[in-house]
């Protein structure tokens, strides 16, 4: 062992001695058999791997004799450089007698699983190697050239590489979610379980064999395994470790974008006042909806970093930097972007070095929550990876916390952070349309409201988490390939109504909209509750949009409506339209909240969806020669577009959504003006907008009076209830031209309603004819959200 340490020290690799010994490499002779996978598992940096591998190659190329690794013609002298092993060790470790560590068997990969796609950086490297000049370089020079070009690459070009990789990763995630439901996946899980019991050749060949177990050396992790078993705690620990390793892998990948930054360290901290202000902005800006820190916890972070007698450790600096960076993202413009980049670079580089124990799990969950928030604001795919890691830690450790009877303040802090992670998972899965992870255990652990949680902040967070779970369930239900049963539709509809009815009066949307600022809620509380209502209205639109597009052809309608009564169809369509109108009113009100970041995905996606519903209704009315309330619908759509335009100044996704929908709005306005020109010539056609949009046959449906309706719960302005009758000319050519052009808009908006992110479109519709008017971008532009 001493010779191992001495040789590693000569190579400048002394820091790896302890890890090597712990994993079975107890002497230099054993190190000679190390593999690339071993080096990766032990955490060797790339440059350090090459140093060690070159030394191993040099030694193996030298002719050896029992007892001497020098050539026969050489004679040792006192001044001769010390060889990696002494003569005595060479004799005892001669090739034919050398003691090798036992091979650590690894489970075989699942041959049926989807192949994980490459990252943007790797794809770029592969592309660069197709250049003949680059292909002629050495491996090291190629790596340097790839890194150099990636760092100096223009942001827009790098974004395209990231978009391609993100699309491939999203497709991979969808495939994996489907694959997990197959028998092949279950068979592989059974194989892994048998492998854990006997990780050797016998386990690989006969998974159910009773042959003796091999001893498998422990690997580094968040918590060493002292006695491997298949207990629930052991399984949760393994799942937690895997999720955390995935998060660290993502962290290292993100770190490459910040190689040009010099990070902060325990001896070089960012300015205290700057961090204090940013963390205060995080606590205030997030409000009760997203709980990052309580005020005492935020104070402790500052105190540990700046007012402790000993220098802060890497975990404290990571926590400080990521909280300040997240706060700066919410408080847009207060900190220079270069400072935010340095804070993030510090987090990425320091978090990978921390040691985690049971006292720091909550702090790590906070860091992961901050990282996921940062990723969402940047529209980055890594958000889901960080959320999964945080939920895995919570699922493993939260029950233990309750068993230890920790103080009430700590338990409540845990529960709020836990809930925030659940909210993030459900919220993103429902708005982005990806299948969520199974959260039933998480709901049981942390969502059910405790009796002592009677504060208004807890009530608001509880309501927001509830509606996000309902939205996630709806998203999962309607995305299934098989038809969703009518009773499930009605169940989801009842859940949405029940959520609204059970709200305390102070939290009702009608009260928030009718007298803004007059309630007893603080600004952050009011903003959080408005966002919760925005999610509720979005869930209504998501559930009922099928009823809006059902009459537009089988290409768009995936749900048969034969099991629904005419009155139900009428009511669901009415609810979807009114939900969009209420979203426009909420967006208008949220503009007064200066602390709401313009990158907020809730408001961006809510504005986009509401705009789509309103433009669909207006286009359908024009197509069917009913113009009575087109002006009101277009006015409400313009309110949503104004919000998207405002957010577009800071957020590229909002800018893309605005560029998609604005040409559609302009086209419909021009069609409306042409229709009104005909009406001024005295040619009338009097039909009600409601009769056109909500009625399929000649019989006016009678709504179910026992059913709770949005327009009963929410006081809508007079203009939101279409009653007027306008007309336009019956000139055959004019009517036909307007109908055809409006019909193109109906097709486009129906497709966006059915598939807002372009997953199923595959080039079916590339635009639509609207005469000489501007045409929206191709529909595949909707599939770019995450990088």
- Give the DSSP letter string of 198-222: S-SHHHHH-TT--PPPPP------S
State pLDDT tens for residues 227-251. Answer: 343 467 878 888 888 888 888 888 8
> What is the distance between the alpha carbons of residues 29 and 383, in angstroms, rounded to a whole number?
44
Asked if 395 contacts 442 with a C-beta cutoff of 8 angstroms, the reply is yes
SS3 for 50-115 is HHHHHHHHHHHHCCCECCECCCCCCCCCCCCCCCCCCHHHHHHCCCCCCCCCCCCCCCCCCCCCCC
Average pLDDT of span 311-318 = 92
Average pLDDT of span 442-471 = 77
Asked if 353 contacts 360 with a C-beta cutoff of 8 angstroms, the reply is no
**Residue of 329, 318, 345, 343 whose CA lies nearest to 258:** 345
> What is the distance between the alpha carbons of residues 418 and 420, in angstroms, rounded to a whole number?
5
> What is the distance between the alpha carbons of residues 553 and 750, in angstroms, rounded to a whole number?
10
DSSP-assigned letter for residue 310: S
What is the residue-wise DSSP string for 700-741? PP---TTS--HHHHS---GGGS----------HHHHHHHHHH
**What pLDDT sits at residue 727?**
47
The model's confidence at residue 77, banded by pLDDT at 50, 70 and 90, is very low
**What pLDDT sits at residue 29?**
79
pLDDT over threshold 70, residue 539: yes
Beta bridge partners of 65: 68
Average pLDDT of span 571-587 = 89
> What is the distance between the alpha carbons of residues 278 and 321, in angstroms, rounded to a whole number?
10
pLDDT over threshold 80, residue 682: no
Give the residue extent of every domain in the chain. Answer: 2-92, 531-784
State pLDDT tens for residues 117-170. Answer: 888 888 888 888 888 888 888 877 888 888 888 888 887 788 788 778 877 887
- By the 10 Å C-beta count (0-12 exposed, 13-18 middle, 19+ buried), 355 is classed as exposed
**What pLDDT sits at residue 175?**
85
pLDDT over threshold 70, residue 483: no
- By the 10 Å C-beta count (0-12 exposed, 13-18 middle, 19+ buried), 584 is classed as buried
Q: What angle do CA 296, 299, 301 make, to 5 degrees?
A: 115
For residue 159, the Cα-to-chain-centroid distance in whole angstroms is 17
> What is the distance between the alpha carbons of residues 326 and 373, in angstroms, rounded to a whole number?
7
Both tokens assigned to 137: 């370089």
- Residue 599: strand, helix, or coil: coil
Handedness of CA 439, 440, 444, 445 (dihedral sign): negative
Query: What are φ and ψ of residue 591, in 5° steps?
Result: -60, -25
**What pLDDT sits at residue 321?**
94
Q: Which residue has the tokens 């205030």?
A: 284
State pLDDT tens for residues 34-47. Answer: 887 778 777 788 77
- What lies within 8 Å, CB to CB, of 458 at 6+ separation is 288, 416, 449
**What pLDDT sits at residue 684?**
42
Top-level class of domain 2-92: mainly alpha
Average the pLDDT over each of 137-141, 340-344, 466-470 and give the range with the smallest value: 137-141
**Selected residue with higher pLDDT from 224 and 517:** 517
**Residue of 662, 668, 672, 670 whose CA lies nearest to 777:** 662
Average pLDDT of span 654-669 = 89
Please, where are the H alpha helices in 153-256?
155-179, 183-197, 201-205, 232-255
- Residue 769: strand, helix, or coil: coil
Both tokens assigned to 392: 């895995």
CA atoms within 13 A on the CB side of 652: 15
> What is the distance between the alpha carbons of residues 44 and 41, in angstroms, rounded to a whole number?
8
**Residue of 506, 527, 643, 541 whose CA lies nearest to 596:** 527
Average pLDDT of span 454-482 = 83
The model's confidence at residue 454, banded by pLDDT at 50, 70 and 90, is low
**Selected residue with higher pLDDT from 471 and 785:** 471
- Residue 116: strand, helix, or coil: coil
pLDDT over threshold 50, residue 266: yes
Average the pLDDT over each of 147-151, 272-276, 549-553, 602-606 and give the range with the smallest value: 549-553
Neighbours of 590 (CB within 10 A): 20
Q: How far is CA 577 from each of CA 552, 574, 584, 616, rounded to the nearest angstrom?
A: 17, 5, 11, 10
Q: How far is CA 210 from each of CA 7, 189, 739, rounded to the nearest angstrom?
A: 42, 18, 75
Query: What are φ and ψ of residue 68, in 5° steps?
Result: -155, 130
pLDDT over threshold 50, residue 659: yes
Asked if 220 contacts 352 with a C-beta cutoff of 8 angstroms, the reply is no
Average pLDDT of span 506-533 = 82
**What pLDDT sits at residue 66?**
39
State pLDDT tens for residues 13-28. Answer: 888 888 887 777 778 8
> What is the distance between the alpha carbons of residues 236 and 252, in angstroms, rounded to a whole number?
24
Both tokens assigned to 713: 């719960």
**Selected residue with higher pLDDT from 61 and 663:** 663
**What pLDDT sits at residue 583?**
93
**What pLDDT sits at residue 783?**
38
Name the pTM for this structure: 0.65
The model's confidence at residue 53, banded by pLDDT at 50, 70 and 90, is confident
CA atoms within 13 A on the CB side of 642: 15
Average pLDDT of span 518-540 = 87
**What pLDDT sits at residue 589?**
87
> What is the distance between the alpha carbons of residues 215 and 200, in angstroms, rounded to a whole number?
9
Cβ contacts of 706-712, under 8 Å, gap ≥ 24: 707/497, 707/571, 708/497, 708/500, 708/501, 709/571, 709/574, 709/575, 710/500, 710/540, 710/575, 710/578, 710/579, 710/582, 711/574, 711/578
CA atoms within 13 A on the CB side of 449: 15
Average pLDDT of span 88-99 = 42
> What is the distance between the alpha carbons of residues 673 and 695, in angstroms, rounded to a whole number?
25
The model's confidence at residue 581, banded by pLDDT at 50, 70 and 90, is very high
Q: What percent of the chain has pLDDT over 90?
A: 17
**Selected residue with higher pLDDT from 550 and 704:** 550
Average the pLDDT over each of 469-473, 526-530, 551-555, 757-761 and give the range with the smallest value: 551-555
pLDDT over threshold 90, residue 274: yes
Asked if 376 contacts 425 with a C-beta cutoff of 8 angstroms, the reply is no
Asked if 270 contacts 327 with a C-beta cutoff of 8 angstroms, the reply is no
Neighbours of 205 (CB within 10 A): 9
Both tokens assigned to 10: 């000569």
State pLDDT tens for residues 365-400. Answer: 999 999 998 888 877 778 889 999 999 999 999 888
Query: What are φ and ψ of residue 65, in 5° steps?
Result: -125, 150
Average pLDDT of span 647-659 = 85
> What is the distance between the alpha carbons of residues 723 and 631, in angstroms, rounded to a whole number?
12
Mean pLDDT of the chain: 75
Both tokens assigned to 602: 């809730």
pLDDT over threshold 60, residue 71: no
Asked if 326 contacts 370 with a C-beta cutoff of 8 angstroms, the reply is yes
Average the pLDDT over each of 374-378, 603-607, 661-665 and give the range with the smallest value: 374-378
Average pLDDT of span 295-300 = 89
């Amino acid at each position: 062992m001493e010779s191992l340490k001495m040789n590693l020290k000569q190579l400048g690799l002394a820091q790896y001695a302890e890890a090597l010994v712990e994993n079975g490499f107890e002497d230099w002779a054993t190190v000679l058999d190390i593999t690339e996978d071993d080096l990766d598992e032990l955490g060797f940096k790339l440059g350090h791997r090459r140093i060690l591998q070159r030394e191993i190659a040099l030694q193996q190329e030298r002719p050896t004799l029992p007892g001497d690794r020098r050539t026969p013609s050489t004679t040792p002298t006192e001044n001769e450089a010390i060889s990696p092993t002494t003569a005595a060790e060479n004799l005892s470790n001669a090739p034919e007698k050398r003691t090798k560590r036992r091979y650590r068997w690894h489970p075989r990969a699942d041959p049926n699983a989807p192949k994980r796609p490459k990252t943007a950086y790797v794809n770029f490297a592969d592309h660069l190697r197709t250049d003949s000049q680059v292909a002629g370089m050495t491996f090291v020079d190629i790596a340097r050239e790839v890194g150099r070009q990636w760092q100096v690459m223009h942001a827009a070009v790098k974004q395209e590489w990231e978009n391609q990789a993100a699309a491939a990763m999203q497709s991979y995630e969808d495939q994996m979610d489907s694959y997990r439901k197959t028998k092949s996946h279950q068979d592989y899980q059974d194989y892994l379980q048998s492998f854990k019991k006997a990780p050797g050749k016998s386990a690989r060949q006969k998974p159910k064999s009773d042959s003796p177990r091999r001893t498998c050396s422990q690997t580094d992790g968040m918590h060493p395994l002292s006695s491997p078993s298949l207990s629930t705690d052991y399984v949760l620990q393994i799942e937690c470790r895997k999720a955390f390793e995935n998060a660290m892998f993502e962290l290292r990948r993100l770190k490459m974008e910040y190689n040009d930054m010099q990070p902060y360290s325990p001896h070089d901290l960012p300015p205290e006042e700057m961090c204090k202000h940013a963390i205060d902005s995080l606590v205030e800006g997030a409000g009760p909806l997203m709980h990052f820190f309580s005020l005492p916890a935020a104070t402790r972070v500052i105190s540990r970093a700046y007012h402790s007698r000993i220098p802060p450790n890497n975990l404290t600096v990571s926590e400080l930097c990521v909280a300040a960076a997240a706060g700066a993202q919410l408080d847009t413009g207060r900190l220079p972007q270069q400072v935010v980049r340095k804070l993030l670079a510090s987090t990425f580089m320091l978090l990978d070095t921390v040691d985690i124990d049971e006292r720091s799990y909550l702090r790590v969950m906070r860091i992961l929550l901050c990282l996921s928030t940062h990723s969402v604001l940047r529209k980055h795919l890594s958000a889901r990876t960080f959320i999964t890691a945080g939920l895995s830690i919570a699922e493993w450790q939260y029950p233990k916390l309750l068993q230890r009877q920790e103080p009430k303040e700590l338990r409540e802090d845990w529960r709020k952070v836990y809930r925030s992670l659940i909210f993030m998972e459900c919220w993103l899965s429902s708005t982005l349309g990806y299948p969520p992870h199974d959260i039933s255990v998480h709901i049981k652990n942390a969502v059910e409201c405790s009796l002592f949680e009677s504060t208004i902040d807890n009530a608001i967070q509880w309501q927001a988490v509830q509606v996000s779970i309902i939205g996630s369930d709806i998203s999962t239900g309607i995305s299934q390939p098989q038809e969703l049963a009518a009773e499930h539709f009605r169940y989801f509809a009842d859940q949405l109504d029940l959520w609204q009815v059970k709200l305390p009066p102070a939290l009702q949307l009608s009260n928030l909209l009718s007298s803004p600022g007059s309630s007893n809620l603080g600004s952050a509380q009011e903003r959080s509750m408005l966002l919760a209502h925005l999610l509720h209205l979005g869930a209504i639109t998501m559930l009922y949009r099928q009823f809006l597009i059902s009459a537009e052809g089988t290409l768009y309608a995936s749900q048969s409506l034969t099991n629904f009564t005419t009155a139900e169809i009428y009511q669901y369509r009415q609810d979807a339209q009114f939900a969009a109108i209420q979203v426009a009113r909420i967006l208008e009100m949220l503009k007064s909240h200066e602390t709401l970041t313009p990158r907020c995905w809730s408001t961006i996606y809510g504005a986009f969806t509401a705009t789509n519903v309103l433009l669909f209704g207006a286009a359908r009315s024009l197509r069917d020669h009913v113009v009575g309330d087109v002006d009101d619908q277009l006015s409400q759509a313009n309110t949503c577009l104004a919000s998207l335009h405002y957010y577009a100044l800071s957020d590229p996704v909002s800018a893309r959504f605005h560029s998609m929908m604005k040409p559609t709005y302009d086209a419909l306005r021009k069609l409306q003006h042409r229709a009104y020109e005909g009406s001024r010539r005295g040619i009338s056609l009097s039909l009600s907008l409601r009769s056109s949009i909500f009625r399929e046959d000649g019989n006016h449906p009678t709504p179910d009076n026992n059913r709770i309706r949005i327009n009963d719960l929410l006081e809508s302005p007079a203009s939101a209830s279409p009653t007027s009758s306008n007309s336009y000319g019956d000139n055959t050519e004019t009517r036909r031209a307007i109908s055809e052009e409006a019909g193109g808009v109906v097709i486009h908006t129906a497709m966006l309603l059915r598939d807002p992110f372009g997953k199923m479109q595959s080039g079916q519709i590339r635009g639509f004819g609207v005469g000489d008017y501007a045409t929206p971008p191709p529909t595949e532009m909707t599939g770019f959200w995450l990088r």
